[in-house]
A and B are shown apart, each in its own frame.
Chain A
Amino acid sequence: MNEKTKNALLSIVASLVCIVIGLLVGFIILYCINAENAVDGFTRIIKGGFYLKPKGIGSEIAQSAPLIMTGLSVAFAFKTGLFNIGAAGQYTVGVFGALYFAIILHMPWYVCLLAAMVCGAIWGAVPGIFKAYFNVNEVITSIMFNWIGLYLVNELMYNTIPGMYDQKTTRTYKLSSASPKSLIPDCGMNSIFRTSSTTIAIFIAIAIAVIIYIVLNKTTFGYELKACGFNKDAAKYAGINEKRNVVLSMTIAGALAGIGAGLYFLSGASEWNPQVSTALPAIGFNGIPVALLALSNPIGVIFAALFVAHISVGGAYLPTKYYQPEIADLIVAVIIYLCAFVTLFKGIVANLFKSKKEQKANANADNGKEEKK
C-alpha cells in the first residue's frame, strides 16, 4: 500500500468517526430534551429521506445538488490555499442570474444555469482580485461581498426590476407558471419520487464534481493551483503566475457556487423572498462543513453533501409534538458542526497508528540504502 492510498483510507476513517461522534452528540441532545421519544426521533434523523419514501428521497436528492456545488466551491478554493467563505454570497448572486434569465428573459434552463454561473464567478472574482493585487485577505472581502450581494439582489428583485416579484406570494414568480422551459428537466423523476423538484440537477452536480476532480489531479492547471496552495514561494520560483491563479481559483469557486444556486432554483425547489431573505442562504454556508468533511476531495464532496442533505431532511421529520421545530435545525447543526472537526479527528486517528507508522517511516529514511540493495 503506498502513502497515497494509506492517506485516503485515513481520511475516510476520520470522516466516518466524525459523523458517528456528531450523531452521538445529536442523540444526547435529543435525550436531554425528551428522553422517551429520543430513540424514535433519532431513528427519523438517521433514516433521513428514507423515513418518508419516496418523497423524502426525492427531496434529499434535490437538496444534495446545490450542496455538492457549494461544497465544491469551498473545496476548490481550499486546494489553492484560499478560504472561500463567500460561497453564500456567490450563491445568492447566482440566484439572481438564474431567475432574471428565467422570469424576465424566458431563456431555456441551460442558459439560465450559465447566467447563474457567470454571476457567481463575478462575485468570486472580486475577492480574488483584491487578494492577488492588493493583498487584502479573501476572508474579509468574501464576507463583505456576502452581504453586499444579498442586499443588492433583494433590492434588484423587489424594487429595481419589475416583473420578478409576485405581490401575492411575496416571492419571485413560480417558474412552473412564469417560464416552464426554464425548469431543469426531471426525466420522470418527479413522478417516481412524487415530488415537484427532483430533477437531473443531481447528475449535473456529480458530473461537475468529477470534472473538478480531473482538473485538480490530471491537468497542468490543477498542478499549478495546488502548487500555489501548498507552497506559494515554490510556485513563484517555478515561474507560476500565482496572482493570476488566485484570481482564477476564486472565480471558479464563485462559478461553482453560482451553478449551485441555478441547480436549486431552476429545479423549482423554492422561490426567492426578497423581503424576508435578510439572512444568507444556509446552503452557501453548509458548503464549508461539506468541504471540510470531504477533506476538500471533490469526489468526497459528493458523499459529504449527500450525508448533510440526508440528515437535514431527516431533521424535518422529527415529531413536532415532542420537539420544537427549531430542535431539528439544532441537531442537524450540531452534527454538521462536528463534521468540521474532521482534520482534528484525522490527527487523532493518525496518532493511533502513529507509533507503528512513524517508526517505519523513520526506518525507511534511515536505511534507504540498505533497502535499495
Chain B
Amino acid sequence: MENEYIIEMLNITKEFPGIKANDNITLQLKKGEIHALLGENGAGKSTLMSILFGLYQPTSGIIKKNGQEVHINTPNDANDLNIGMVHQHFKLVECFSVLDNIILGVEPTKGLFLEKKNARAKVMELSEKYGLMVDPDALISDITVGMQQRTEILKMLYRDNEVLIFDEPTAVLTPQEIDELMKIMKNLAKEGKSILFITHKLNEIMEVADRCTILRKGKYIGTVNISETSKEELSRMMVGRNVSFSVNKKPSKPGDTVLKVEHMTVPSKVHGNNAVKDVSFNVRKGEIVCIAGIDGNGQSEFVQGLTGLEKVSGGKILFNGQDITKASIRDRSKMGMSHIPEDRHKHGLVLDYSIEQNMVLQRYWQPEFESFGFIKSKAVREYAERLIEQYDVRSGQGPVTITRSMSGGNQQKAIIAREIDKDPDLLVAVQPTRGLDVGAIEYIHSQLVAQRDKGKAVLLVSLELDEVMDVSDRILVMYEGELVGQLDPKTVSVEELGLYMAGAKRDPVPEEV
C-alpha cells in the first residue's frame, strides 16, 4: 500500500549555538493536500523549511519521503527529490523571457544549441493544465508581480516537482491576484501536487488549506484540520493568547482640521497622464481617515506628493493652516508630519545603519542629539534603548544591531516607534502592517488608534480591506487617481466598498466634512 504521507519531518530539532530554533517538530504532508504552516515572525517556520530544502541540517530528527528516510544535504538533493520552492523574493532574471527563466538551469540542448521547441510545448501544456495563462515570450521586467510568481510556479512544475513550498506567497500580491493564486493552488492540489503553504494570514488558510501545522517560538503546537477549526482557534494557537480581530476603539471625536488638500494633482512617472487627479479632502484631529483602493491607483504618488518626496503639479496642501505645497521634506517633518513609508527598505530605513542610528533618522539634528555638529552618541543610545523597550523592537544585539539583520516585523516596529515618538500632529501611515503577523498587526493598529485618541490626525493608506474596515473612522476610496467616494466604515459593507474600489460605483466627495 502506498504511504499516506509524501513528506514526513519527524521530531526535527535544530539547535544553533545557544538557541533551539526548532524543538522536536513533526510535520507530515499528505499527498495532494494543501498544508499550511502557521506561526509568528521568528517562530521557526523558515528554519524548518530551510531544513526541508537542504539549506540546513537538522541537529536531530529524520525526514522521510514516501516512507523512505532521505538525507537532504543541499538544495540540489531537494530538487532530485522533486521538492520545489517559491521564495518570497523571486529568483528570476529580469531581462529574460518567461520561458528562458523556466528552463534556466535545465536548458534542453541539441549539440551546442538551445532546443526550446519542446520546452515551449511543455510550458504551454502546463500553463494550460493549471490555468496559469502565462505568456512564455514576455520579459520578466514587463509582467506583473502576480505573473512573475506564476513563472516561479511553472519553474517548479517544469521540473516535475511533487512537493511545492510556497513561502508567504501572498505578501506581494493584490487582492485579485491573491484570489487567483488560491484557485491555482487548489488546482495544483487537485492534480496531485502536495503543497506546503507558509503564511500568517488566517483568512487564506481558512480558504484553501486542508490542514494546518502551528509553530510557536520554535515549538510544535499542533496540527489541525481546517474544517474543524476557526480563525480564533488558529490565532490562539499561534500567538498563545486570544487575539481580537476587531480593533477596540471608542467613537472618534474629530476636532479642528489638521490637513487640508485642495485639488492636488501629481504627474505619473510611468505614463504621460497624472497619477493623482484633482484630489481634495481634509483630515481632522482625533480621526483616522483611510484612503482605500486597489494597488496602483495613485495612492503611492499621492503620498509622495503629500510628504514632499515628489513635486505636485497642481493644487494646494494646507497643514495646520499653513501652505506647505512647496515646503521641503525636513520642514514638513519639523511642522509635525510623520510618515510611515510604504517601502520600509527603500525609504524607511538605512539598512546598513545600526538600529540606534535609524531611530534618530528624523531627529539626529535636534539639540537633544546634536551639539556643535557632533552627534551625542550617549543620548542616541539612551533614546534608542527607550524606544526599543517601549515598542518591543526585538533584535540580536540591541541598539547596535545592524538593521539589515533584523526581521521585517521588527524593522517595521522600529519605523513606527520612530515616527510615533516624534509626537506628530499628522501621522501618514502607508500600509503599515504589510507582511506582518497578527500579533504585530494588532499592536500597530492599537498604536494608530492610540494616536487618534490622543487627539492626533491619522491618514492611513491601505490595501487590506480588513484594515480599512476595522481601523478607520472615515474611508476615502481612490480609483485611477481620483477620490470616488467617502464612506462610513460603520455602515458600508465590504461588498459595497469593493464596488467603489473597482470603479463600478462613484459619488462626489465633499471637500469639507
Contacts and interface: CB of A to CB of B under 8 A. Distances in A.
Interface of A: 2-4, 218-221, 223, 226-227, 230-231, 233-241, 356, 359-372
B21 A239 contact: no
Given A3-B405, A366-B43, 15 more contacts: A3-B397, A218-B377, A219-B375, A221-B373, A230-B350, A234-B348, A236-B309, A237-B347, A239-B329, A359-B56, A364-B19, A365-B405, A367-B217, A368-B396, A369-B42
A234 B350 contact: yes
A368 B393 CA distance: 10
B341 interface: yes
Interface of B: 16-21, 42-44, 46-47, 56, 217-218, 307, 309, 328-333, 339, 341, 346-354, 357, 361-362, 364-365, 370, 373-375, 377, 394-397, 400-402, 405-407, 410
A93 to B, nearest CB: 28
B330 A230 contact: no
A348 to B, nearest CB: 20
What 4 A-B pairs have minimum CB-CB distances, sorted nearest first? A363-B16, A239-B330, A364-B396, A368-B394
Contacts of B341: 237
A227 B347 contact: no
Contacts of B375: 218-220, 223
A81 to B, nearest CB: 11
Contacts of A227: 350, 353, 361
A239 B394 contact: no
B432 to A, nearest CB: 15
Contacts of B332: 239
Contacts of A367: 16, 19-21, 42, 44, 217-218
10 contacts: A220-B370, A230-B351, A234-B361, A237-B329, A239-B333, A365-B405, A366-B46, A366-B218, A368-B407, A370-B218
Given A223-B375, A227-B350, A363 B42 contact: no
Nearest to B363: A238
A238 B348 CA distance: 8
A363 B23 CA distance: 12
Nearest to B329: A239
A363 B21 CA distance: 6
B42 A233 contact: no
Contacts of B377: 218
Contacts of A362: 16, 21, 46-47
Contacts of B402: 3
A182 to B, nearest CB: 32
Given A366-B19, A372-B394, A220 B365 contact: yes
B370 A366 contact: no
A219 B346 contact: no
Contact of A360 (B17, B348, B406): B17
A360 B410 CA distance: 18
Contacts of A233: 346-347
A223 B357 contact: yes
A142 to B, nearest CB: 25
A362 B21 CA distance: 9
B21 A369 contact: no
B60 to A, nearest CB: 16
Nearest to A370: B217
Contacts of B339: 237
Contact of B350 (A235, A360, A364): A235
Nearest to B365: A220
Contact of A369 (B20, B217, B347): B217
Given A219-B375, A360-B16, A238 B21 contact: no
Nearest to B330: A239
Contacts of B333: 239
A236 B362 CA distance: 11
A370 B476 CA distance: 42
A236 B307 CA distance: 11
A220 B373 CA distance: 6
A362 B45 CA distance: 12
A337 to B, nearest CB: 28
Given A218-B377, A367-B218, A2 B397 contact: yes
A366 B347 contact: no
Contacts of B307: 237
Contacts of B365: 220
Nearest to B369: A220
Nearest to B334: A239
B492 to A, nearest CB: 33
A263 B339 CA distance: 48
| Max chain B Cβ within 10 angstroms of own Cβ: one of A237, A362, A365, A371 | A237
Contacts of A371: 19, 396
Nearest to A369: B217
Nearest to B346: A233
Nearest to B402: A3
Contacts of B357: 223
Contacts of B309: 236-237
A223 B348 CA distance: 16
B362 A238 contact: yes
A127 to B, nearest CB: 25
B53 to A, nearest CB: 14
Contacts of B329: 236-239
Nearest to A4: B400
A368 B42 contact: yes
Contacts of B352: 230-231
B404 to A, nearest CB: 10
A359 B362 contact: no
Contacts of A240: 330
A227 B332 CA distance: 20
A372 B20 CA distance: 14
A239 B406 CA distance: 24
B172 to A, nearest CB: 19
Nearest to B418: A238
B396 A365 contact: yes
Given A237-B339, A239-B333, A366-B46, A219 B350 contact: no
Contacts of B331: 239
A361 B46 CA distance: 13
Contacts of A368: 42, 394-396, 407, 410
A259 to B, nearest CB: 21
A361 B405 CA distance: 8
A350 B206 CA distance: 43
Given A223-B364, A237-B347, A366 B397 contact: no
B96 to A, nearest CB: 26
Contacts of A219: 373-375
A356 B395 CA distance: 19
Nearest to B15: A363
Nearest to B332: A239
A236 B329 CA distance: 8
Contacts of A231: 346, 349-352
A190 B326 CA distance: 61
A328 to B, nearest CB: 40
A372 B43 CA distance: 14
